[in-house]
């Protein structure tokens, strides 16, 4: 399913449906397609918003988790969103965490899936030589429990990015920024209800990372999905949507407002 990309000033984003805002932040190699089934399902009950993050468009000085968080803050303020359910996958989860710690006032709940911020396995200790498509194919497949989900189209997208010297420098800058920006000592400050949805077979942010997030974030619940890797909303969308549905429904009940 294809969606219209809107533009408001310098911001490009998708916005579908009506109701409370469910704002989605994609990861380092993420795209709108990561959220297709989620958008289709939740746009019937929420206003789904997906900003196009300028992962490779910021100047090198601001190509960091902090730089992306400032972009998200400006976007939310510019669009005048309130009571936002903020969701992030992988690096997007990390950006969501930094945002809620700095600007909690507009955020109603937090949803993290395969988030960095505590620990993550990256592309490896060394970056491949440009043109090493087989390496990129194997690394892309590690995102999923089922390696066939690393389609030629997806591999080609990642390969195109990693075959550009400037883009590679920025990817490395973002990856290093994520590793440096460890939030372990700050997570107890997150007050919003938090839903953690993790793949039991995630090799990038393994299950122990989800457990550590649950231990450190006071008002959090953790859900594991079997036969699932680093991107549950792509790999097992029906189960992911069911868990998220249950979480968001609880927040509508009177008990949740006490």
For 46-78, how does the pLDDT look when each residue is reduced to its tens digit (9 = 90+)? 999 999 999 888 888 899 999 999 999 999 999
Higher pLDDT, 150 or 105: 105
- Give the C-alpha distances (Å, rounded to integers) separating 186 from 43, 98, 103, 198: 32, 9, 14, 21
pLDDT tens, position by position, 102-142: 999 999 999 999 999 998 876 444 455 556 788 788 888 88
Whether the pLDDT of residue 247 is over 80: the answer is yes
E-state strands within 166-246: 194-199, 220-225
The class that CATH gives domain 6-120+183-257 is alpha beta
Mean pLDDT to the nearest integer, 20-30: 91
Lowest mean pLDDT among 2-11, 16-25, 208-217, 233-242: 2-11
d(CA 14, CA 100): 21
Say what the pLDDT of residue 213 is: 98
Q: Who has greater pLDDT, 219 or 130?
A: 219
- Per DSSP bridges, beta strands 47-51 and 220-225 are unpaired
The residues spanned by each domain of the chain are 6-120+183-257
Separation between Cα atoms, residue 91 and residue 249, nearest integer Å:
26
Contact 89, 233 (CB under 8 A): yes
Displacement of CA 115 from its chain's centroid (Å): 7
pLDDT value at residue 258: 28
CB-facing half-sphere around the CA of 120: CA atoms within 13 A: 28
| pLDDT reading at 256 higher than 50 | no
Pick from 39-43, 139-143, 179-183, 197-201: least confident:
139-143
CA distance 198 to 166: 32
> pLDDT for 30-41, tens place per residue?
777 789 999 999
Q: Comparing 47-61, 74-88, 204-218, which segment has the lowest mean pLDDT?
A: 47-61
Is the CB of residue 45 less than 8 Å from the CB of residue 71?
A: no
Mean pLDDT of the region 148-175 = 85
The model scores a pTM over 0.85:
yes
Rounded to the nearest integer, the mean pLDDT of the chain is 90
The whole-number average pLDDT for the span 195-211 is 97
């Amino acid at each position: 399913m294809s969606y219209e990309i809107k533009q408001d000033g310098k911001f490009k984003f998708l916005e579908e449906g009506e109701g409370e805002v469910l704002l989605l932040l994609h990861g380092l190699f993420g795209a709108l397609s990561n959220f297709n089934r989620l958008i289709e399902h939740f746009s019937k009950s929420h206003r789904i918003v997906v900003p196009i993050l300028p992962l490779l468009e910021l100047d090198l000085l601001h190509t960091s988790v902090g730089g992306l968080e400032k972009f998200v803050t400006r976007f939310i303020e510019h669009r005048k969103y309130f009571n936002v359910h903020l969701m992030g996958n992988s690096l997007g989860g990390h950006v969501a965490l930094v945002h809620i710690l700095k600007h909690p006032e507009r955020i109603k709940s937090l949803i993290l899936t395969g988030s960095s911020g505590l620990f993550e396995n990256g592309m490896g200790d060394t970056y491949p030589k440009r043109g090493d498509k087989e390496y990129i194919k194997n690394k892309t497949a590690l995102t999923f429990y089922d390696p066939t989900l690393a389609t030629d189209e997806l591999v080609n997208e990642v390969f195109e990015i990693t075959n550009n010297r400037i883009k590679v420098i920025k990817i490395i800058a973002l990856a290093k920024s994520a590793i440096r920006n460890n939030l372990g000592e700050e997570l107890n400050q997150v007050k919003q209800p938090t839903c953690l949805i993790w793949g039991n077979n995630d090799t990038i942010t393994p299950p122990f990372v989800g457990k550590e997030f649950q231990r450190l974030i006071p008002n959090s619940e953790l859900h594991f999905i079997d036969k699932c890797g680093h991107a549950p909303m792509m790999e097992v969308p029906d189960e992911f949507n069911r868990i998220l549905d249950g979480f968001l429904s609880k927040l509508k009940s009177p008990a949740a407002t006490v």
